[in-house]
Structures are given as C-alpha cells and as structure tokens.
Amino acid sequence: MKAPVSHLRPPGKDRGLRDVLENRFLLRLIVDKEIQIRYRGTVLGLLWSYLKPGVQFLVFYIAMGVFLELNRGIENFAVYLFSGIVVMNLFGEVFGNASRSIVANGGLLKKIYLPRQLFPVSNLLVAFVHFVPQLAILLIACFATGWRPDLKQLLAVLVGTFIIALFALGLGMLFTTFNVFFRDAENIVDLIIMVSTWASPVLYMWTMVRDKLWDWVYFVYMLNPLTVAVELFHYGFWFPTTDTPQIWHVPPHLLTMWTPLAIVVSLLIFFVGDRLFRAQEGNFAQEL
C-alpha cells in the first residue's frame, strides 16, 4: 500500500503569487498595518490622500498652466494635467514603497517565515486605497467639464491601471531585491520616480516629443509603459471632455500597437522582477 502523499512544504519554498493568494488573511493584516503606521499620530489621516495630490496639482497647474500658458494651448488643461498626475502618483507609490518593503520589514522577516511577496503586494493594495480618492476627484472634474466617454474609453482606463500596477509591482520586486544587498538602490528608485513624471506626457503633450526630437526617441518614448498608461488615462478622462476632438488626438496606433507592446513590456519586467525576487528571497533574512 502506498504511503499518502504529503502536501506539506518546507519553509522557504515560495511559490510566488500563489502563496499570496493562499494567505489573503495575512495580506489583509499587513495592509491594515501599513495604513495604520502611515497615519499614526496624524490629525488628518486618510484626508492626506486628497490634500497631497491637490497641492501637487496646484503647483503644477500654476507653473505649467499659468506661467507657461499651457492652459490656453490645451483644452481643459486641468483635467489633462490631473489625469496624468493620478497615474504617476499610483506608479510612484507602488514602486517606491514596494522597493523598500523587504528592508522595512526586516525585523519581522528575521523572526518568522511568511511568504515574502506579501510585502510588495501589500504596498500595491495600499496604493490603491490612496488612488481611489484621487480618482473620485478626477471624476468630479470630468463631469463638471462635460465628460462623455464611450465603452472603449472606459476600458482604456482599466487597461491603463492594469499596466501601471503590473509595471510598478515588477519594478518594485526587482529593486526591493537589489535594496537588500545594495542600499544604493533606494536612491536609484527616487531618481526614477523623479524623472518618470517628466519622461511621460503629464505636463506636456506627446506631440512635443514627436515634433522636436528624433524619430527613434519617439519610438523609445512610446515603448515606455508609463507613457502609454498616461495616454490611456487621457483618452479615457480628458479626451471625452473636449469640444473639438478633431484637434486633440491621442498618439497614432495607441490602442492597436502601443498598448499591446506596453502590456508585453510590463509582463516582461514583472517576470524578471518575480524570478529575481524568488531566486534571492532565501538570503533576505541573513542579509538583513
């Protein structure tokens, strides 16, 4: 008679995101912990989710819209600007916090075993907690300016959100692994987040890159998943508010070519980040 097959696994034999799905209770506890720690001792609490992007928008609007007069050159510039800001805020929070998640929880990792990927994934969920209030403000602005989206434009927003989540989480797992061994990785993360706002059409239109730089720069620019995600949000939120859509147009082949390429690039980054993370996670505790 054959002995029964055991389903037990030795600690440390991680199965990636499958372990995250099987430990949803732990994931919820970590998300709650992250939110409580972030707002511990604050007066406004989650209201900072409204205040911080509001101040950010005001600064950019005055600098780019008033001083450089882009509010005259781009119809409904406020909606255009804020729809790009919410994308970059989501990317920056997921990428920045996920890349620090293992080092920040080093004390816990050295005491008990639990799936390591719970930590970067929890930062993704916390970022969505802050993303929803910003999205609500954006929707109010869109309705106030006559938002008339069709189904394709609504789907573009969902696809853009998926691209950002996948791309940022993949980069987060990649750099949180680097950060365990080389603390310089945190500085590189800060540089990437700082540059990414200017390397995507948040404060300007994509046509400036096409018209003022070389063709190969425009091609590389459009291969950036952040550029595609921002334009998908523009297509979903800003474009339906324009009174003269024949003047304001999205990049050619945005939906048919650049979006599939952005998904492929994001999947590739996620795959590389996941493989490196799982290959090195057994060394995290001793390195920390």
Distance CA 33, CA 37 (A): 6
3-state helix, strand, coil in the chain (%, to 5): 75, 0, 25
**What is the arithmetic mean of pLDDT over 255-267?**
96
Tens digits of residue pLDDT in 152-164: 999 999 999 999 9
Domain range for 54 is: 17-31+44-281
Kindly state the tokens that stand for 221.
């620019």
Distance CA 201, CA 204 (A): 5
Task: Name the one residue in this structure whose structure tokens are 């523009």.
Answer: 234
36 assigned to some structural domain: no
* Average pLDDT value for the chain: 87
3 assigned to some structural domain: no
Distance CA 204, CA 226 (A): 14
**What is the arithmetic mean of pLDDT over 126-139?**
91
- Whether residue 105 is predicted with pLDDT greater than 80 in this model: the reply is yes
Residue 96 phi/psi, 5° resolution? -65, -50
**What is the arithmetic mean of pLDDT over 216-239?**
96
Q: Could you tell me the pLDDT band of residue 106, with boundaries at 50, 70 and 90?
A: confident
Global confidence as pTM = 0.89
Task: Give the pLDDT score at 155.
Answer: 97
156 assigned to some structural domain: yes
Distance CA 173, CA 30 (A): 17
- Whether residue 42 is predicted with pLDDT greater than 80 in this model: the reply is no
**What is the arithmetic mean of pLDDT over 14-19?**
72
- Whether residue 3 is predicted with pLDDT greater than 60 in this model: the reply is no
Task: Give the pLDDT score at 37.
Answer: 80
Q: What is the DSSP string of 134-177?
A: HHHHHHHHHHHTT----HHHHHHHHHHHHHHHHHHHHHHHHHHH
Task: Give the pLDDT score at 64.
Answer: 80
Domain count of the fold of the chain = 1
Q: Could you tell me the pLDDT band of residue 62, with boundaries at 50, 70 and 90?
A: confident
192 Ramachandran zone, left/alpha/beta (phi>0; psi -120 to 50): alpha
6 assigned to some structural domain: no
Return the number of other C-beta atoms located less than 10 Å from residue 47's C-beta: 12
Tens digits of residue pLDDT in 51-61: 777 788 888 88
11 assigned to some structural domain: no
